[in-house]
Amino acid sequence: MKNPIAHSLSLTWLAGLITFGSFGVLMLFLAGCPAPAIAPNLPAISEAFFYLGTFFLVRQLFAGLRTFHTVEHLLQLSVLGLLTLVLLLLPGILLPEASATAAPSRWVLILQGLQSAFLVFYFTAGTVMVFQIISSQRPAASRKALLLLSSCLVALPVLQAAGLTYPLLNYVLFAVAGAAGLSLLFKVDWLVGLDKKLRKSTLFYLLALSFLSSIILLKTYFPESGYELPIHISQSSYVALSGFLTLGFSLISALFLLFHLPVAAILDIRDAEKKHLIEAGLEAEKTHDLHTLLYTLARQTRSSSSADAVWLARVNNEGPENQYPCVEGISTNDVKRIDYSLHAHPGHFQLDRAKDFLFIRDLDKDPVLGSHVLSIRSLAIYPFTLQDGSEWRLYLGFESPNGLNEHLAREVSHFVGHTRLSASHVCSLQEVAGKARLEKDIAIGREMQKRLLPKEFPLSKKTDIAAASISAEEIGGDYYDCHVMSDQSIAVLMADVSGKGTSAALHVAEMKGIFQSLMLSEPEPEKFLSLANRAVNQCFDKGMFITVLYAVIDLNKLELRYVRGGHCPLIHYNAKEHKIHTLQDDGLGLGIINGESFDKTLMSRTVKLHAGDIIVLYTDGIVESRNTDDFEEFGYERLRDCIYLNMELDSKSLNKKILREVQSFSNSSIRDDMSLMTIKIKANGQNKNQL
Amino acid sequence: MEIISKLSEDALKISLVGELDANGAINLDRIISKAIADGYYKIAVDCRQLEYISSAGLGVFISYISELKSHNGKFVFYHLRENVESVFNILGLQKVVAITHDFTQAKNQLHEV
């Protein structure tokens, strides 16, 4: 006995045996022991009590067990059966032929008592075991049959004891119990689920029980001449029923198990294969690297299908040149030869619709592949597509011409499907990681762009300058700057680099250096733009350009000199005329054409300023901002109106007001960066007479 | 979206449809670069259905101006909508590419070099 539970079980059985042995002997003495033994002179009530007592005692013994170990119980039942058989055989050995007819001695009576006790105990234990096994396997399905059988088993002796021996009633009860018992005999599904290790020992015990039960029944029905068993089995329906149930159940189960063994062996192999693949699948799920995952797939399918070669191909749909991240057990040349043939004869290797894999037997005889001398003679191909749209094939090569059985082929196919899911999961994880990286890039670009823009503007008694900017989801290339020069004039600049994203922000960074140094060295608008254009042509890629509006405000002369390099026209509110002007002069974006031909397009203009004048520089994000309903652009008209209606506001508030207006117009859908710089000429400047 | 049709041995018509944003610009660049590689240096651009052009879209045309010019070719844009024409004008592109009213004018423009 290997474990404590089994140990305690056997102790329980032993205790039961001793109790029962003594109970049987006790019964003999109580009954006053008229020969021969318990029956027929024993009062029927005592006999009934004996059966029922046994039945409930055994049930109680079983119910008291915390766990039910079928094999251990079968062993104990076999031991009990063996003891019973020995007891039954004893008279034949011990008692001489002559003495059988003589009045039985006290020892013979005790032996007979023990025989009765063990016989009833053995069959009862067998019956209860059957109950236990069946109800532990199919508790619901067999409940009725079990209930019927046990009530008949109880009712029969009780009726007998009560003297209600109506033959018909007895027959009916017996028939019902027999039918219920018979229906239980064929409930063999508990054997199917048996563990591989227990299968053989179970078979052995079942065979032993069948053998023992049949000998015991033979002995009781056909006793040796001259010797009568104490219990008249032919008269006791209880013993008959429980005896035949024990025999029938063990015999049928043994036979079933015997025939089931070869099938079970095959199921075992399949279970092992499945387990192996499931484990591999779980292993594969742990990895977050696509190539490791696919590599694991290749390795595991090879080992579980006992393939001689395995390789993975990433399919190139435009030609036969696939990528092979994993090739094992075969030369890459063979792999390529096979793929070329597959590519050249797509019709020949078409997948069966019902299957998701292709198995080619006898490669030697294959009309297409047969022409190659290959190291493998059969081939399984599993195509699969990952979430990123990439197409893959898993190949398993076998040296035998019929390397893969149908069942295993399907198992591998399930595994491939499972791995495909894991791989798709990995793909989406990578996608998420990629997106996160991109978002980080964008955040860095936006941060950079923000840092490039001036935060403070020169405070002056004569001017009120402020700028504001709103970023679109994608980084734009807006840039503005303001610089106070030595002669107290102020240079302002608004620029927009073409394109979007981090590259636009990088170009802005480049241009900031150029613009700032040019503001110091060449503040004159035309010269400024001419040199800036040269720089842009040198620094920027072909097709990238930048629009610039550059203006110098001379506060002494109250003049604005500006030049427009393809940028949105400057808006000037003339306080003296109470009019708003859009100053759209000729001008070309920087980086479009080079050298002198660009310089020729430059045209600076001077505008007289007055106290109360407002100058607004902005980027196209503002005027091209569109309404989501009818796609109408915000346009210059609305911008001018907004400035005109809010001219009393200070520069900062005016900027805010304009941006709010644009956002409410476009329902807050920001397609492009929006930047804005407002310069107000204060009334307390030189020309106090204005405004 | 772009629709391409051949006009003559060295002339091509590209019809722009919808919005030409940064993504569309990549495709447009591929088309023009292939057209030039195939020897088409005179390109008429039909803007009748062009609703919006981004700076990246303009950049594509700008990047090929000098190359076309060196092969005696050019871009001629026609049928520009008001907002698109305004973008061209503000950037100053009318100085470097031809902008005409309709297809007939565009064809004439293409052949006078």
Give the three-state DSSP class for A184.
helix
pLDDT score of A39 more than 70: no
Residue A34's pLDDT is 34
On whether the CB atoms of residues A24 and A116 are closer than 8 A, the answer is yes
A279-293, A318-332, B7-21: which has the highest mean pLDDT?
A: B7-21
Contact criterion met (CB below 8 Å) for A342 and A349? yes
Q: Which amino acid is present at A618?
A: Y
- Which of B56, B63, B90 lies closest to A566 in CB terms? B90
Contact present, B68 and B41 (Cβ < 8 Å): yes
Correct CATH for B2-111 of 3.30.1240.10, 1.10.238.10, 1.20.140.10, 3.30.750.24: 3.30.750.24
Q: Do A543 and B29 touch (CB under 8 A)?
A: yes
Using the Cβ of A588 and the Cβ atoms of chain B, whether some distance falls under 8 Å is answered with yes
CA angle A112, A113, A117 (to 5 degrees): 115
Mind listing the pLDDT tens digit for each residue in A606-642? 999 998 999 999 998 899 888 877 778 888 999 999 9
For chain A, which residues make up each domain, given as ranges? 4-267, 287-430, 454-681
In angstroms, the CA A202 to CA B54 distance is 83
Indicate if the pLDDT at residue A99 is higher than 60: no
User: Which of A542, A586, A672 is opposite residue B63, by nearest beta carbon?
Assistant: A542
Return the axis-axis angle of helices A106-137 and A70-94, rounded to nearest 10°: 160
Closest A-chain CA to B54: A499
Q: Which two tokens stand for residue A616?
A: 């607004």
Q: Which residues of B touch A591 (CB under 8 A)?
A: 62
Residue in A closest to B90 by C-alpha: A566
**Rounded percentage of chain A residues whose pLDDT exceeds 70:** 81
pLDDT at B17 over 80: yes
Q: Chain B contact for A596, CB < 8 A?
A: no
B55, B64, B68, B82: best to mutate for the A interface, most A CBs within 10 A: B55
pLDDT in tens, A519-538: 888 888 989 999 999 888 88
- Position A442 pLDDT exceeds 80: no
Evaluated on CA atoms A402, A404, A410, A415, the torsion sign reads: negative
Give dist(CA A329, CA A331) in Å, integer.
Answer: 7
- Over 60: is that where the pLDDT of A41 sits? no
Distance CA B23, CA B56 (A): 9
CB-based contact (8 Å) between B93 and chain A? yes
User: What does the mean pLDDT of chain A come to?
Assistant: 78
Give the three-class secondary structure for A96.
coil
Q: If you average pLDDT over residues A181-188, what whole number do you get?
A: 78
Kindly state the greatest CA–CA separation across chain B. 33
Residues of A in contact with B22 (CB under 8 A): 499-501
For A570, the closest chain B residue by CA position comes to B90
**Between B81 and A120, residue with greater pLDDT:** B81
Nearest-Cα distance to chain B for A477, in Å, is 10
B47 close to B103: Cβ distance less than 8 angstroms: no
Residues A588, B83: C-beta atoms closer than 8 Å: no
B95 touches chain A (CB under 8 A): yes
Nearest to B90 among A500, A568, A672 (CB): A568
Q: Which amino acid is at B110?
A: L
**What is the DSSP secondary structure assignment for residue A371, as one 8-state letter?**
G
Q: Name A560's Cβ contacts closer than 8 Å, sequence gap at least 6.
A: A551, A552, A553, A554, A572, A606, A607, A608, A609, A615
DSSP result, A644-681: HHTTTS-HHHHHHHHHHHHHHHTTT---S-EEEEEEEE
Residue with tokens 């029969």: A156
Region for B92 from its dihedrals, namely left if φ exceeds 0, alpha if ψ lies in -120 to 50, beta otherwise? left
CB contact under 8 A, A592 and B93: yes
To which residue do tokens 């000199």 refer? A561
- Which residues from A are below 8 Å from B51, CB to CB? 631
DSSP for residue A566: B
Of B61, B51, B66, which is closest to residue B17 (Cα–Cα)? Answer: B51
List b or e across A677-688, with b for residues whose CB sees 16 or more CB atoms inside 10 angstroms. bbbbbbeebebe
Q: Nearest CA to CA, how far is A583 from chain B (Å)?
A: 11
Nearest CA in chain A to B59: A543
pLDDT at A369 over 90: no
CA distance A553 to A617: 13
Q: A547–B90: do the CB atoms touch at under 8 Å? A: yes
What is the per-residue pLDDT across A550-594, written as a single tens digit (0 to 9) for each? 999 998 889 999 999 999 999 999 989 999 998 888 888 998 888
Q: Which of residues 610-669 of A touch B (CB under 8 A)?
A: 620, 624, 631, 633
Q: Are strands B74-78 and B42-53 parallel, antiparallel or unpaired?
A: parallel
Q: Does residue A356 sit at the B interface (CB-CB below 8 Å)? A: no
Of A496, A493, A468, give the one whose Cα is nearest residue A483: A493
Who among B59, B66, B89 is closest to A545 (CB)? B59
Residues 6+ apart with CB under 8 A from A136: A68, A190
Q: Is residue A38 predicted with pLDDT exceeding 50?
A: no
Instruction: Report yes or no: B110 at the A interface, CB cutoff 8 Å.
Output: no
Categorise residue A476: left if φ over 0, alpha if ψ from -120 to 50, beta otherwise. beta
Q: Do B62 and A588 touch (CB under 8 A)?
A: no
Chain A closest CA to B44's CA: distance in Å?
19
Residue type, B87: V
Per-residue pLDDT reduced to its tens digit, A206-216: 999 999 998 88
Q: Which fold has domain A287-430?
A: Beta-Lactamase (3.30.450)
Q: Give B91's contacts in chain A (Cβ within 8 Å).
A: 545, 547, 566, 588-589, 592
> Is A500's CB within 8 Å of B56's CB?
yes
Q: Which pLDDT score, from 0 to 100, does residue A655 have?
A: 93
* A278-321 per-position pLDDT tens digit: 776 666 666 667 777 788 778 878 877 788 899 888 887 766 67
A633, two tokens: 């652009």
Q: For the complex shown, is ipTM > 0.85? A: yes
Contact A367, A376 (CB under 8 A): no
Give the SS3 label for residue A506.
helix
A 474-513 residues with CB < 8 A to B? 477, 496, 498-501
Q: How many CA atoms are closer than 13 Å to the CA of A179, on its beta-carbon side?
A: 7
Inter-chain CB proximity A620 and B87 less than 8 Å? yes
Task: Write out the DSSP string of A250-295.
Answer: HHHHHHHHHHHHHHHHHHHHHHHHHHHHHHHHHHHHH---HHHHHH
Name the residue in chain A with its Cα closest to that of B55. Answer: A498
Asked if B62's CB is within 8 angstroms of A545's CB, the reply is yes
Chain B closest CA to A658's CA: distance in Å? 21
Residue from A647, A657, A638, A645 nearest A679 by CA? A647
Is the predicted pLDDT of residue A690 greater than 50, yes or no?
no
Using alpha carbons, list the distances in angstroms from residue A57 to A60, A128, A317, B68.
Answer: 5, 10, 77, 108
Which residues of B fall within a CB distance of 8 Å from A631?
Answer: 51
Residue of B nearest to A495 (CA): B91
- Read off the tokens for A319: 């030609």
CB neighbours of A660 closer than 8 A, spacing ≥ 6? none
Locate the domains of chain B by residue range: 2-111
- Judge whether B59 is closer than 8 Å to chain A, CB to CB: yes
Q: Name the DSSP class of A195.
A: -
Per residue in A43-77, pLDDT tens?
666 667 777 777 777 777 776 665 667 788 888 88
- The answer to whether the beta carbons of residues A677 and A480 sit under 8 Å apart is yes
* Residue A254: per-residue pLDDT: 87
pLDDT of residue A65: 61
Task: Out of B29, B54, B92, name the one closest to residue A588 (CB).
Answer: B92
Q: Is the pLDDT of residue A23 over 90?
A: no
Contact A543 B87 (CB under 8 A): no
A133-137, A172-176, A463-467: range with highest mean pLDDT: A463-467
Comparison of pLDDT for A656 and A233, the residue scoring more: A656
pLDDT of A144 over the 80 cut:
no
Any chain B CB within 8 A of the CB of A567? yes
For range A88-115, the mean pLDDT: 65
Looking at the complex, does the CB of residue B39 fall below 8 Å from at least one CB of chain A? Answer: no
Work out the average pLDDT over A540-551: 88
Retrieve residue A281's tokens: 């699948």
User: Which among A475, A503, A592 is the top mutation candidate for probing chain B, defined by the most B β-carbons within 10 Å of its own β-carbon?
Assistant: A592
DSSP secondary structure code for residue A46 in this structure: H
Measured from the Cβ of residue A103, the count of other Cβ atoms closer than 10 Å reads: 8
Q: In this predicted structure, what is the pLDDT of residue A427? A: 75
Assign domain A454-681 to its CATH architecture: 4-Layer Sandwich (3.60)
Residue in A499, A584, A587 nearest the CB of B56: A499
Q: What are the φ and ψ backbone dihedral angles of B52, each rounded to 5 degrees?
A: -155, 140
Q: What is the model's pLDDT at position A98?
A: 45
Name every chain A residue with its beta carbon within 8 A of the beta carbon of B57. none
Chain A residue with minimal CA distance to B89? A566
Chain B interface includes A523 (CB < 8 A): no
| Inter-chain residue contact B91 with A566, CB threshold 8 Å | yes
Q: What is the least distance, in Å, from the CA of B55 to any CA of chain A?
A: 5
Q: At A435, list the tokens.
A: 């997106």
Range A439-447 average pLDDT: 78
Enumerate the residues of chain A whose CB falls inside 8 A of the CB of residue B29. Answer: 543
Q: Does A601 touch chain B (CB under 8 A)?
A: yes
Cα(A299)–Cα(A111) distance, integer angstroms: 69
Least confident window among A80-89, A193-202, A636-645: A193-202
pLDDT band with cut points at 50, 70 and 90 for residue A687:
very low
Q: Would an 8 Å CB–CB cutoff place B26 in contact with chain A?
A: no
- Lowest mean pLDDT, pick from A197-201, A481-485, A565-569: A197-201
Residue with tokens 């930047």: A675
Would you give the DSSP letter of residue A568?
Answer: P
Q: Does B68 touch chain A (CB under 8 A)?
A: no
Query: Is A592 in Cβ contact with B22 (below 8 Å)?
Result: no
- A132, containing H or E segment: helix A106-137
Question: CA–CA separation, A667 vs A627, rounded Å?
Answer: 7
Residue bearing tokens 């078979």: A203
d(CA A495, CA A320): 51
At A573, is the secondary structure helix, strand, or coil? Answer: strand
